Structure 1
Amino acid sequence: MTELPNGWISTSLGAVVDYGRTEKVEPCDIRPDEWVLELEDIEKDTSTLLQKRLFSDRNPKSTKNRFAAGDILYGKLRPNLNKVILATQPGVCSTEILPLRCPEGVEPQFVFYALKRAEFLDYVTQVNHGNDMPRLGTEAGRAAALPLAPTDEQRRIVAKLDSLRTRSSRARYELDRIPKLIERYKKAFLRAALSGDVTAAKEERTTARPDVEYDLTIRAPVSWKRLAIADICNIVGGSQPSKSTFCNQCKPGYVRLIQIRDYKSDKHLTYIPRSLARRFCEKNDIMIGRYGPPIFQILRGLEGAYNVALMKAEPNTEVVHREFLYWLLQSPDLLTYVEVESKRTAGQDGVNKSHLLKFPVFLPEKNEQLRILYKIKHAMAWLDRITSEHTRANALLTKLDQAILARAFRGELVPQDPNDEPASTLLERIAASRTTTPAKNRKQQRGEL
């Protein structure tokens, strides 16, 4: 740890708070109007409370930890998610959340910010135990390093960090709006391009209304030819053999079985005997995710055999370019049409193939399709650049937040005052109070009867 300023002391979390001491409460002893906090209610990294639900809303069956207003609520399960908040009112929480109560002279917000430092996150990542659901053990939590400032300096640091955090939160809020705006613009531009508004804006319009129970009107220039999805492509469903033939390693005579999830990740590679494969796709083939959520994903980029959750759209190249079909299938109007009419009896949404093939489309001549594709390509490339800049800005904001916390806990964020009582004296007082106060009385002070 970097050398600390005069008046500070390097100590441990367990020396400052009673880490691991909790008051258990059974569901039968919780009032209907009490706040019940679960880990899922806390957003990772940002310490944003996503929802606040009462016992009457949740009706939990398991034992809980009781906490008071001002307690620090620290998520010990999967501690790398950095789930920690300050309680604004009393309540109960999951036993995977530890209420930490600060003694007199230690500002709760100071410890709260200490738990959000990169140094602390690196530590808990190294010492947690458990593979699938890692937890921070009690002894490891107590041993975590904590730079402790004098009480008055803690207050100055907290005031400064609160102010900077407000600005950071505002910047993050504005950044979080960008992906939604990008998606809205993509849909609006695509609808305009597929309606002729980009290349034939001045031409007289014609319309078509799909046979559905809601108001949906498709617009296009009168020169465009009215067809249906069935006229411009052939939809070929997938196939797969029994799961007993599946293998997670590629072997001679095997081929990859492509599933919807494979377009996002290679974590679940599956292979089947090539002799049992019936449907194949190449990287440039247009694939449709048949089931959801979300349904009707338009995908491409993989090759192999494809399973029953996928369909392949084979273009009728006499009337449509493959690339134009790729974007036409992403039409916002088509997605709405498919979503509303594609409900399965089992409760999972799925594409109704016969219904899909009836959807009316207006198609320009192939030369105009190329002009539209040029516009779409440049618009999407521009939006992709904005998306990349947004990702970089988010990463920089996170680095800035951590840089500020690092300065704060090196004693570089606010000036020191030589008149402040040293933190060593505060620490001695905390230790003395634990020695002189019987454990039973400490429990009573916390309400642990």
Structure 2
Amino acid sequence: MSGRELPTGWSFATLGELGEWSSGGTPSTKVASYYGGNIPWVKTGDLNDGIIKEIEDHITQDGLLNSSAKIFPTGSLLVAMYGATTGKLGLLPIPAATNQACAALIASGQNCDIIPYLFYYLKEMRNDLKAKAQGGAQPNISQQIIKEIECSIPPLPEQRRIVEKIEALTARSRRAREALDSLPALIDRYRQSILAAAFRGDLTSDGDSGRRSMPVGELVAEPTCNGISIRGTDIPPGIPALKLNALTDQGINFDARRYIPLEESRARRIYIRKNDFFVSRGNGSLELVGRGALASTPPEEIVFPDTMIRMRLDQNTILPEWFALIWGAPQIREQIRSRVKTTAGIWKISQHDLSSITVDVPSIDVQAKEIRHIRLGLGAIEKCRVQLDTATDRLATLDQSILAKAFRGELVPQDPNDEPASVLLERIRAERAAAGAAPRRGRRGGGKASA
């Protein structure tokens, strides 16, 4: 038992002392008549850490009678016991059956009043529940593990104040989270507007001066080319070769590599140089095909795969950094979309189609000015992203901090006039004894609990 000190009027009790626990079952899937009835049948995927809003599946009366499924009353507390969903919670809004992966604290009599408090208590305990999971491929917890969890129980009026306060604070944090969730799209829209303006030449006063619409095929110093396709391994020996996921928004990630058996004479023509520009020529996602990245100085001789197309730009006409920035503009993206083709679910763009994409190219001097303006705008966007990530991380811990304070007795004030929790627990024990459940005694608070 815990050695925690409880506020005056609180008591310890295990979840097993607070009501009857049970679980459901699954009717045979070989009998079609067991399914599609009017009895809601909850699975762990329906648990949403709140009042369950949607119950996808239903079973028939025959399915109920010919399985271990049973109907639990409105207000019952469900806990997921299996796999990745372990510790997920749900409150039944209507009478419903469950499968065997859901443990249920049955709402009945005195415990109906404390289930809202226990719901938040178990939410705060989720990581502890997961840590108790046992098994290999799909770790799980048992009803017995759940029933042995020790709870700190406040007086019933204080439970209600705690639940009310938690719900008020989490409603505020939920609104803040919704506001934060809308920001990435706004940030991306701002980024696109900067790049679109750069493509048009609107970022500098002389940006539109002398711009020429040129196909990509006229901007390269040598013909575009694909890389090589050879099966490789993640460890040497062999020639280092990039993987497709080496293309990132920040440039080429040279650590995303494999090693392929390739002769030096064949590798030489596809070694990567600083300022080579690479484009993804195929992807299952339309938004990722045609994605580009500029290479920095390679740490060693390294080649690229045939899933990438290399452009070696004519630096007398175009600055590689300017080209890499402009490549993200919506005007370029639209041209890519109009040229890609799909085969067996894979979107692809050819060297020929890539070479036909047009770019409005200003003078080298104007390109240099536009790089500075683009970098200034993207730098401001990056600061916004960092601040957003920080706020999101803080918000993610806020709800848990609220719960932790609540169950230490620090969230709402205690009232000495409240009936002690020990009296409530005695009523629950008496009720269960009258119903045939073996009573067990909890421990009172108001001092140091014994170890």
The bucket for the TM-score relative to the shorter chain is 0.7 to 0.9
Q: In structure 2, what is the equivalent of residue 295 of structure 1?
A: 288
SS in 1 for 2:140: coil
- Higher relative CO (CA 8 A, sep ≥ 6), structure 1 or 2? 2
Alpha-carbon distance, 1:434 to partner: 4.1
Work out which of the residue numbers 343, 346, 351 in structure 1 matches 2:344: 346
Q: In structure 2, what is the equivalent of residue 127 of structure 1?
A: 132
Q: Please, what TM-score do these two structures have when normalized by structure 1?
A: 0.77
Q: In structure 1, what is the equivalent of residue 440 of structure 2?
A: none
Flag the 1:67–1:326 CA change in 2: closer, same or farther, 3 A. farther
Q: Give the Cα–Cα distance (whole angstroms) in 2 for the partners of residues 88 and 116 of structure 1.
A: 18
Alpha-carbon distance, 1:354 to partner: 2.7
Q: Give the Cα–Cα distance (whole angstroms) in 2 for the partners of residues 268 and 89 of structure 1.
A: 51
One-letter amino acid of the counterpart of residue 259, structure 1: L
One-letter amino acid of the counterpart of residue 227, structure 1: M
Q: In structure 2, what is the equivalent of residue 216 of structure 1?
A: none
Q: In structure 2, what is the equivalent of residue 251 of structure 1?
A: 236
Quote the sequence identity (%).
Answer: 25
Q: In structure 2, what is the equivalent of residue 141 of structure 1?
A: 146
Flag the 1:42–1:228 CA change in 2: closer, same or farther, 3 A. farther
Deviations 1:261-319 (A, max 9, x none): 78599998643335388444367543323313242333456853333333333222221
Flag the 1:300–1:137 CA change in 2: closer, same or farther, 3 A. farther
Q: Tell me, yes or no, if structure 1 residue 9 matches structure 2 residue 3.
A: no
Work out which of the residue numbers 166, 170, 176 in structure 1 matches 2:171: 166
Q: In structure 1, what is the equivalent of residue 272 of structure 2?
A: 281
Larger mean Cα displacement after TM superposition, 338-347 or 409-418: 338-347
Q: Tell me, yes or no, if structure 1 residue 115 matches structure 2 residue 139.
A: no
Work out which of the residue numbers 360, 365, 385 in structure 1 matches 2:383: 385
Larger mean Cα displacement after TM superposition, 303-312 or 317-326: 303-312
Q: Give the Cα–Cα distance (whole angstroms) in 1 for the partners of residues 273 and 147 of structure 2.
A: 55
One-letter amino acid of the counterpart of residue 80, structure 2: G
Q: In structure 2, what is the equivalent of residue 212 of structure 1?
A: none
- Is 2:23–2:98's contact at 8 Å kept on the other side of the alignment? no
- Is 1:151–1:423's contact at 8 Å kept on the other side of the alignment? yes
One-letter amino acid of the counterpart of residue 373, structure 1: I
Q: In structure 1, what is the equivalent of residue 161 of structure 2?
A: 156
Q: In structure 1, what is the equivalent of residue 371 of structure 2?
A: 373
Flag the 1:72–1:270 CA change in 2: closer, same or farther, 3 A. farther
- Is 2:24–2:98's contact at 8 Å kept on the other side of the alignment? no
Where structure 2 has 5 or more consecutive residues not aligned to the other structure, the ranges are: 438-451
Q: In structure 1, what is the equivalent of residue 198 of structure 2?
A: 193
Q: In structure 2, what is the equivalent of residue 21 of structure 1?
A: 23
Flag the 1:305–1:65 CA change in 2: closer, same or farther, 3 A. farther
- Pairing of 1:9-408 with structure 2 (within 5 A): 9-22=11-24, 24-25=26-27, 28-31=33-36, 47=49, 52=54, 54-55=56-57, 68-78=73-83, 83-91=88-96, 95-103=100-108, 104-105=110-111, 106-117=113-124, 120-130=125-135, 132-200=137-205, 221=208, 223-233=210-220, 234-242=223-231, 246-248=232-234, 250-260=235-245, 263=248, 270-275=258-263, 278=267, 279-281=270-272, 285-289=276-280, 290-293=282-285, 294-296=287-289, 297-299=291-293, 304-408=302-406
Larger radius of gyration: 2
One-letter amino acid of the counterpart of residue 89, structure 2: V
Q: Give the Cα–Cα distance (whole angstroms) in 2 for the partners of residues 50 and 19 of structure 1.
A: 19
Flag the 1:282–1:109 CA change in 2: closer, same or farther, 3 A. farther
Flag the 1:434–1:288 CA change in 2: closer, same or farther, 3 A. farther
Q: Please, what TM-score do these two structures have when normalized by structure 2?
A: 0.77
Deviations 1:411-435 (A, max 9, x none): 1212223343332333344344444
Q: Give the Cα–Cα distance (whole angstroms) in 2 for the partners of residues 67 and 269 of structure 1.
A: 54
> What value does the CA root-mean-square deviation take over the aligned residues?
3.6
- Is 1:191–1:332's contact at 8 Å kept on the other side of the alignment? yes
One-letter amino acid of the counterpart of residue 278, structure 2: M
Q: Give the Cα–Cα distance (whole angstroms) in 1 for the partners of residues 372 and 380 of structure 2.
A: 13
Alpha-carbon distance, 1:171 to partner: 0.8
Flag the 1:70–1:312 CA change in 2: closer, same or farther, 3 A. farther
Flag the 1:401–1:253 CA change in 2: closer, same or farther, 3 A. same
Q: Give the Cα–Cα distance (whole angstroms) in 1 for the partners of residues 421 and 254 of structure 2.
A: 51
Flag the 1:99–1:238 CA change in 2: closer, same or farther, 3 A. farther
SS in 1 for 2:263: helix
What is the total number of aligned residue pairs between the two structures?
407
SS in 2 for 1:128: coil
Q: Give the Cα–Cα distance (whole angstroms) in 2 for the partners of residues 356 and 53 of structure 1.
A: 49
Flag the 1:262–1:369 CA change in 2: closer, same or farther, 3 A. closer
One-letter amino acid of the counterpart of residue 288, structure 2: I
Alpha-carbon distance, 1:230 to partner: 1.8
